Amino acid sequence: MPNKVVLKLQFIKTPKVFRDPTAIQFYWMQINENVVSGLYPVSDYLVVKLAALSLQAKYGDFNPSVHKVGFFAQLGNSIADFLPPYHLQKYKLEYWEKRLFLQHSKYLGMQDVNARLEYIRVAKKSPSFGATLFEVLSGAHALVGAAEDGILLSRLKNSKCGDWVFYPFEKVTSFKKNGFGLDISVFDANRQPVVIKVGLQDGVVDAAFDCISDYYALFKMRVDPNFQLPQDRFLPPLDAYEDIMKRTMLADFPSRLELFKEFYVKACNECSAQPVPSVLEQVDLCLDLGRDCEVLNLNSLNLDNDTWNCIKAALNETFAFKPLGPQIFVENFNCKTLKMSANPKLGSDSFQSLIPIITAGFPVTDLDVSNNGLEDEKSANVLGEIISSCRTIHTLRAAGNKFGAKPGLAILKSLKENLGFRVLDVTGCDLKDLFCFPLALVLSQHPTLQELDLSDNPIGDEGLEKMLDGLKRTKTLVKLHLTNTKVKSHSVKPLLDVVSQTKYPNHLYLAHTKLSDKTAERLATILGQRGPAGAIKVLDVQNCQFSKKAMFTIFQSLETNQSLEALYCGGNEFDRLALSVFGKGIRTNVTLKTFSMQACNVGLEGYIEFANGIRGNSALTELDLSRNSMGPLEIKKISDAVIFNRTLISINISYNAKITLDGVGAFMAPFLNNSNMILSKVYMDGCAIGDDGAKRVSVYLFHFLKNFLTKALILLFFSDWRYAGQEFFDREALAKGERNHQRGRHPPLQRVAG
């Protein structure tokens, strides 16, 4: 075998100007050699990215007919040129080829120079990146090295990332040669002086000492302007290189999120199961962006017991894994929310298996198990056990699991044991009045419960009457959802009396509950109370069959109200007179931030009155006028008013089918020459603007960005517009959004499709 001569950089530093392809290639070759040999250890996640970038640099774009299982064998090349041995030995060649080519396919169009630059950037996450390393004579494989920011020690050559120890030059007090190696004096974590004795091979002592000396001199030159460089030393100019790299990942490597991905792929490989792509995509996105994985979304993945067991095994191993030595993990798997809704193949046993994972350290606080077909007493008992056993859980969303009132009592019982619990969502769980008797006791005694959602349950007047006993005593319940229940108007009035007296709950969601004019008068009386500590802050009365008189009464209270922050009143009767009163009230109201008036069709005169109020308002930030059959004239009135508003951030005019090409022009034109507006979001889903409208919007958007890029940004959404005479939209998603709209189950300013 012929000898190989490798020329290496003496100082591994990142130049400020790094454009010469030849220089980049030499720099990359040295970094790549160190990664593949194991001198720069990297995690499973990083090694796949690095190997794929090497493939892109060497072979160009991914070609599915060429880059497939057997590729390396056909070319006579070794995959060992791309992967370090400590990773390669874990799995079969076929496994690595599949993963590498999948990652390789993400770099289509990337030039070889850019692939090498990206390789260098990613490799900087290795704990020993940039270090010149020397083998230690200690009976065990160990390394010592120096880099631009300090001295590194490793107990095991080719070891896992967490086995490295780093001493920044700020903590290095001295270093000198002895008879067999080096003595390095440092301060330990307790700021106590420690001398580290390092034995080195013959002929290496001088090279190691000179390397540390030169890197230390570079460090002193940067931090101490009075430092005098020895005359016999030549060092590169500091102004040609970037600042000293921050090696914060040393104490934090590997991260829990990377461990989870590695364990998950390993578990799938052992049981011959395919990893769920969306799970890997979530993890990769968080790792690529360097952010915490706060939400693990497993919704609607049709998980069965086998696929769940792989995820469960990965979670178990991740949070049971302990790093060697004093190293600390990056807690970037700080998963507060676990979403597992709409997986009907998972039974109650699967959810019960969450308990040991959570109690072992999985930091979930918000658990969503909605629409999983949990319809028996055992399922309700399991949910109760999760609440009582996992004290970190403070939110449980179990909507759509029709376990009924009697089994649901197990959930209420568990709340007594979890005194930090805050949010319970049991929407559509077939709960009846029987459920409300023990619920009242929980409401009166629980110290932290803040939100209760009982929507879409057959709870009637008797149940609400019982709940009032608990509501009178609660000091924590802020949000109460009674959307689409069997509660009648005469039972709502006592609830309002309680709210008026105790100020709890102050977020009331009563959509799709038929309410009388007398109830509206009681609401108006409460809303009209002066003072910032008003009783109601959020009120949802969509589709409550309020008359014009009732809406007039409610709007009249806005003039004196000083507490209401959001009002959802779409689907009720409006007229010009009611909106005239609204306009008058909103001009002086300084607390209302969100207003929704969906599906009201008040006519041109009504919109004129409405626009007059918006023009002078100084508080409103979100406005929803969707599904109102507005045309060009109506939208022009709104546009003329919005242009004078200084607080409005978001406006929704979706599903106004009469907004055509002229309407778009009328709405957008006033924005082009206004530098004072702060409007940042315009929703225009489902508007029949056609091809010409699309062109006009693009022109308006271009001019707007050109003139006011630093002041505001209009985001135009056309998720299911009628374009070129056809309708392009996800019909299933649109149908679901329409159902939600009819039930009043989504906040009006959230998009329902697209």
| Residue 530: per-residue pLDDT | 65
Q: What is the mean pLDDT of residues 666-675?
A: 64
Question: Which residue from 705, 735, 704, 741 is spatially nearest to 720, judged by alpha carbons?
Answer: 735
Domains of the chain: 21-123 (1.20.80.10), 132-252 (2.30.29.30), 255-294+304-335 (no CATH), 336-487 (3.80.10.10)
Helices (H), 183-247: 205-223
pLDDT digits (tens, 9 = 90+) for 277-326: 888 888 877 876 767 788 999 999 988 888 999 999 999 888 876 654 44
pLDDT digits (tens, 9 = 90+) for 399-417: 999 988 888 899 999 998 9
The residue type found at 448 is T
* Whether this model's pTM surpasses 0.85: no
Q: What is the mean pLDDT of residues 567-594?
A: 91
Q: What is the mean pLDDT of the chain?
A: 82
| Residue 645: per-residue pLDDT | 81
Q: Which pLDDT band, with edges at 50, 70 and 90, does 671 fall under?
A: low
| Residue 749: per-residue pLDDT | 34
Task: Return the minimum-mean-pLDDT range out of 39-43, 81-85, 441-445, 523-527.
Answer: 39-43
pLDDT digits (tens, 9 = 90+) for 333-391: 788 999 999 999 988 888 999 999 898 888 899 999 999 989 888 999 999 999 999 99
Other C-beta atoms lying within 10 Å of the C-beta of residue 481: 24
| Residue 253: per-residue pLDDT | 57
Q: Which pLDDT band, with edges at 50, 70 and 90, does 691 fall under?
A: low
**Rounded Cα distance, 613 and 638, in Å:** 10
pLDDT digits (tens, 9 = 90+) for 256-277: 888 888 888 888 888 888 888 8
| Residue 412: per-residue pLDDT | 93
| Residue 740: per-residue pLDDT | 46
- Extract the tokens encoding 589: 């109201």
| Residue 631: per-residue pLDDT | 81
Task: Return the minimum-mean-pLDDT range out of 94-103, 418-427, 693-702.
Answer: 693-702
pLDDT of 551 higher than 90: yes
Start-to-end Cα distance in the chain: 61
**Rounded Cα distance, 728 and 273, in Å:** 36
Buried b (16+ CB within 10 A) or exposed e, 512-524: bbebbbebbebbb
DSSP lists the bridge partners of residue 539 as 508, 567
pLDDT of 704 higher than 80: no
pLDDT of 623 higher than 90: yes
232-235 LR contacts (CB < 8 Å, sep 24+): 235/11
**Rounded Cα distance, 528 and 551, in Å:** 14
Sign for the CA dihedral angle at 601, 604, 605, 607 comes to positive
- Extract the tokens encoding 165: 């120890």
pLDDT digits (tens, 9 = 90+) for 165-203: 888 888 899 999 987 889 999 887 778 888 988 888 878
DSSP lists the bridge partners of residue 452 as 424, 480
| Residue 722: per-residue pLDDT | 38
Greater pLDDT, 674 or 221: 221
pLDDT digits (tens, 9 = 90+) for 511-544: 999 999 999 999 999 998 765 556 899 999 999 9
| Residue 401: per-residue pLDDT | 93
- Alpha carbon 372 to its chain centroid, in Å, reads 23
Distances (CA, A) of 508 to 41, 422, 538, 550: 56, 17, 6, 18
